[in-house]
Amino acid sequence: MFTGIIETMAQISQISQDGTNVHFDLTCPIQSELTVDQSVSHNGVCLTVVAVSPKSYRVTAVQETLQKTNLGDWRVGDQVNIERCMPADGRFDGHIVQGHVDQVGTVTQMVDKGGSWEFDFVYDPSMGNITVEKGSICVNGTSLTCFNTKAGGFSVAIIPYTYEHTVFHRLALGDRVNLEFDVVGKYIQRILKGYQA
């Protein structure tokens, strides 16, 4: 389990195909602390560390992950948000984040508010995901609060610290982002709607 509080950023140093899987080699300030079999959130996607070397570490994405996230957009040199699992004795600073991306969204607007930034996102509402005004959302692994919520869209406000220490400062109009909707809301929605054929 994660909290959506980004620990650092990693840079993609190599991408290699292995059948339908894709291996990503990355470098980051905490790579010496990573271990094989450790779960680490990469832009909100929970990936298992499969190899560690003095210069980099490797994670592997299977076809299901590649289809439901923006990992297929990643290129060598890109930076991604990194968060290790929450320690059992740690503070719960964000919200419950599983690292299981529900769908991708798209950046439609970025506004410099002179002390913060406002980002607008759209997503396909036919997949049944919802946001709630002042509720939680996870964008590229970052725990944020939604506003201007509507079917298929929402806004978030980004403070300078978050802007500088996450990949938000690298986002551009039209970029695809990983979205994980609030787990409590997903369970409530499933209870109310039930399973559809």
**Domain identity same for 109 and 185:** yes
- Total domains present in the chain: 2
Residue 64 DSSP symbol: H
> Residue 80 sits in a domain of what CATH number?
2.40.30.20
21 falls within a domain: yes
**Domain identity same for 114 and 183:** yes
**Domain identity same for 68 and 115:** no
90 falls within a domain: no
Q: Splitting the chain (197 residues) into consecutive groups of 10 residues, what average pLDDT does each group show? A: 92 96 97 95 96 96 95 97 86 80 97 95 93 94 96 96 96 98 82 70
Contacts 24+ apart (CB under 8 A), 188-197: 189/128, 189/130, 193/128
Query: What domain range includes position 117?
Result: 103-193
The whole-angstrom distance between residue 82's C-alpha and the CA centroid of its chain comes to 9
Distance, in Å, from the CA atom of 94 to the CA atom of 190, rounded to the nearest integer, reads: 23
Cβ–Cβ < 8 Å for 69, 62: no
CA torsion sign for 111, 113, 115, 117 is negative
